[in-house]
Structure 1
Amino acid sequence: MADILKRDERIPEHLAGRRLDQAAAEMFPEFSRERLKSWIQQGELSLDGRTVRPKDKVFGGERLALDAQLEAETRWEAQDIPLTIVHEDDAVVVIDKPAGLVVHPAAGNPDGTLLNALLHHFPALAGIPRAGIVHRLDKDTTGLMMVAKTLEAQTALVEQLQARSVSREYDAIVVGTMTAGGTVDAPIGRHPKDRQRQAVTAGGKPAVTHYRVQERFRGHTHVRCRLETGRTHQIRVHLAHVRYPLVGDPVYGGRLKLPAGAGESLKTLLRDFPRQALHAHKLRFTHPVSGDTVECRAPLPDDIFLLLDALRQDREGEA
C-alpha cells in the first residue's frame, strides 16, 4: 500500500522570485526534482490551494501544500554491494561509505551506487524517497552517512540538517602548512564558467566551514573540519578558497606540490594519491524517535592513514 504524504509549509521569503519547482526542491530536499515536478503537474503539490505550473514564480509567504501518494521506486535495482554498517535501529542506519561509491544513481552512474546497495540490504527502503538518503558524500569522499528507514525519520533528519543541528566532522589532508585554524564563511554556487564545478560566488547559497589544525608537516597539514551547512563540495571549495586545497583533489587541488627534499616513497604517495584526502569521521544527531543523542565515528581509511604515516616520517627525517 502506498504511503500518504501530507506537508503544509510557508515558502520562506529568501526564495522569492524562484520557480516553484526550485523552491519546492529546497524546501523538500528528501524528494527528487522529478517527483516534485510530477506532483506539481498533478495538483498534489499546490500553492495557496491552487494548481500551478512548475515554472511559475513564487513571491514568498505562500502556502505550499503536499497531499500525495508515495509509490515505491521501481526504476532502481537492488544490488548486492557490501556495506559497512556502523549503527542500525528501527529508524536509522549509519554507514561508513568507501571511496569510489557514488551515493545516488545519475547520468553516467545508473547503478552500482549506495542507493542500489541500500535497496538490497533494506528492501523496505523502496518505499522511502531516495531509499532513505538524507545527505550525500562525494564519490571519492569516505566516511559516515545517515540513512532513514521510515518516512517520519527521514522528515525529522532533514529538518535537523536544515536547522544545522547535525554535527558533521571531517578529517582532511591539505597542501600547505597552516599556522592556525579558522572559519570560512563564504557563499557557494555553480562556477560561472564551468558548470561541473562549484565556486565561492556572491550569488551562491550561505556556506560555513570551521577548521582546526590537528597536525602540521613540512608541506602539509592534517585538519579537522566541521560543517554548519552542507553545500556541494563545500569543504573542497572552501579550503581551496583559503589556499589550502585538499591533497589529491582532481577538481580544486591545483598543481602538485612536493616538500623540498622529500623521499621517493612520499613523492610517489602524493603523486598517486587516488582521490581527495577527505573522510567524514564523526556524525552526531538527535534520534528521530527516542530523542537520544546518537554519535558515530569511523576510523581513518587505509590510504589516508598511510599518507599521514609517510608525512610524519618525512617530518622526523627533516628534524
Structure 2
Amino acid sequence: MAELLKLDIDVPARLAGHRLDQAAAELIPDYSRARLQSWIKGGQLTVDGNTAKPKDKLFGGERLRLRAELEPQGEWRPQALDLQVVFEDDSLLVINKPAGLVVHPAAGNPDGTLLNGLLHYCPALERVPRAGIVHRLDKDTSGLMVVAKTLPAQTSLVQQLKARTVSRQYDALAQGAISGGGTVDAPIGRHRQNRLKMAVLDFGGKEAITHYRVRERFRTHTLLRCALATGRTHQIRVHMAYIRHPLVGDPLYGGRPRLPPEASPELARALQQFPRQALHAAELCLRHPRSDEEMRWRAPIPADMLRLLELLREDAGTASAADGIGI
C-alpha cells in the first residue's frame, strides 16, 4: 500500500532567484535532488498550486506543495531468511551478513538474496529504492551492512558515503608475511580481458584508496585490518592482490594457496580448501540520519575464519618451539 507524503513550505526571500529544484533541495533536504526533480516533473511538487519545471526561477514567498505517493520500488518478492540484526530503530537496520548470501537479485540469483529477506523482515522497505540497501558486500564476504528504512535515512546515508565520512573496516587474511601497515592508492576499473574481474588500471580507473595495518603475523600469512577511503567493487581484494598479498581463498584474485613449510596436514587442507575470500566487514561507523549522533557497530570474526586463524597460530607456535630447540 502506497504511503502519501504531504508537505507545504513557503519559499523564503533569501532563495529569490534560485531554481525550483535547488530551492526544493535546500527546503526539503530529506529527499534526494533526483527524487525532488521527478516529483516536480510529475506534478506532485507544485508552486502556488501550479506545475512548474525544475529550472524555473523563484521570486520568494511562493508556497511549495508536495503530495507524493511513495510507491513500491521493485517487483521483488519477500522471502523469510534468518537475518542477524545487530541494530534497529525507525531509521536504520544494521545486518551482520553471512558469507554465501547475495545482497541484491541479479540474473544468476533472482531470489534468496538479502534484499528478499529484508522485504519479508520489514515490508515497509518496498517503498525505499533497493529496499534501503545503500552499499554492498560481495556474496562471500561476511559482516556489517547498514540499511535505510526510510527515504530521508537513505538520502543521509548516500550523502555520507559520497562525503567519505562512513568508516568501514575489514578483517582480511592475506597471503605472505607483511612487515607493517601502509596505503594502496591505485585506481580500479573493469579488467580489460576478463569482465568478471576488476583490476588496477593505469588509465580509465576510478580513484581507490585502501589503508591497512597488521593485526597479527604468522609464518606465511598476515591478518590485516583494512579501512576503505573509497568503495570500489572488489576493492580490498584487488588492492591486496596488486601488492602481491592476495586474500586466502579468493577465487578471482588469490592464485595458488601458499603453505607454510612443513605445515600440518590439517592446516594445509584448511588453506587449500577455504571456500571463500577470507574477508569480513568487522566495523561500521556513521552518523545517525535523525540524531546526527556518531554510531559504531562491531561484528566478531566468523567461525570459518576463526578456525583458520587458530590453525595458523598453532603452526606459528609449533615452528617457534622447534626453532628454540635447535638453538
1:256 aligns with 2:257: yes
The alpha-carbon distance between structure 1 residues 211 and 90, as it changes in their structure 2 partners (threshold 3 A), is same
1:126 aligns with 2:146: no
CA distance in 2, matches of 1:193, 1:8: 42
1:312 aligns with 2:317: no
Q: Which residue of 2 aligns with 1:278?
A: 279
The alpha-carbon distance between structure 1 residues 243 and 107, as it changes in their structure 2 partners (threshold 3 A), is same
> How big is each residue's C-alpha offset from its partner over 1:179-210, in whole Å with a ceiling of 9 and x where there is no partner?
11100011111001111110011211111000
Q: CA deviation at 1:257?
A: 1.6
- SS of the residue corresponding to residue 146 of structure 2 reads strand
Greater Rg by CA = 2
Uncovered stretches (5+) of structure 2, i.e. residues with no partner: 8-19, 23-31, 43-52, 57-66, 321-327
Q: CA deviation at 1:71?
A: 2.1
CA distance in 2, matches of 1:3, 1:163: 30
- SS of the residue corresponding to residue 313 of structure 2 reads helix
One-letter amino acid of the structure 2 residue matched with residue 150 of structure 1: T
CA distance in 1, matches of 2:6, 2:109: 29
CA distance in 2, matches of 1:79, 1:253: 33
8 Å CA contact retained: 1:5, 1:70: no
8 Å CA contact retained: 2:74, 2:130: no
Q: Which residue of 2 aligns with 1:104?
A: 104
> How big is each residue's C-alpha offset from its partner over 1:141-168, in whole Å with a ceiling of 9 and x where there is no partner?
0000000000000000010000000000
8 Å CA contact retained: 2:76, 2:116: yes
CA distance in 2, matches of 1:8, 1:178: 51
Q: Which residue of 2 aligns with 1:290?
A: 291
8 Å CA contact retained: 2:170, 2:283: yes
One-letter amino acid of the structure 2 residue matched with residue 301 of structure 1: P
1:164 aligns with 2:164: yes
Q: Which residue of 2 aligns with 1:302?
A: 303
CA distance in 2, matches of 1:250, 1:192: 18
CA distance in 2, matches of 1:132, 1:233: 21
8 Å CA contact retained: 2:182, 2:211: yes
CA distance in 2, matches of 1:272, 1:8: 55
One-letter amino acid of the structure 2 residue matched with residue 177 of structure 1: A
- SS of the residue corresponding to residue 241 of structure 2 reads helix
Q: CA deviation at 1:260?
A: 1.1
- The total of aligned residue pairs comes to 279
> How big is each residue's C-alpha offset from its partner over 1:234-271, in whole Å with a ceiling of 9 and x where there is no partner?
00000100110000000000122211110001001001
8 Å CA contact retained: 2:250, 2:277: yes
8 Å CA contact retained: 2:21, 2:54: no
Q: Which residue of 1 aligns with 2:144?
A: 144
TM-score by length of 2: 0.79
CA distance in 2, matches of 1:182, 1:147: 30
- SS of the residue corresponding to residue 280 of structure 1 reads strand
Q: Give the aligned CA root-mean-square deviation in angstroms.
A: 2.8
1:236 aligns with 2:237: yes
- SS of the residue corresponding to residue 276 of structure 2 reads coil
Q: Which residue of 2 aligns with 1:62?
A: none
The alpha-carbon distance between structure 1 residues 193 and 5, as it changes in their structure 2 partners (threshold 3 A), is farther
The alpha-carbon distance between structure 1 residues 272 and 155, as it changes in their structure 2 partners (threshold 3 A), is same
Q: Percent identity?
A: 58
The alpha-carbon distance between structure 1 residues 5 and 212, as it changes in their structure 2 partners (threshold 3 A), is farther
Q: Which residue of 2 aligns with 1:53?
A: none
Uncovered stretches (5+) of structure 1, i.e. residues with no partner: 10-27, 51-66
Which segments of structure 1 move beyond 4 Å, counting only runs of 4 or more? Answer: 2-9, 47-50, 67-70
Moved more, 94-103 or 249-258: 249-258
The alpha-carbon distance between structure 1 residues 221 and 128, as it changes in their structure 2 partners (threshold 3 A), is same
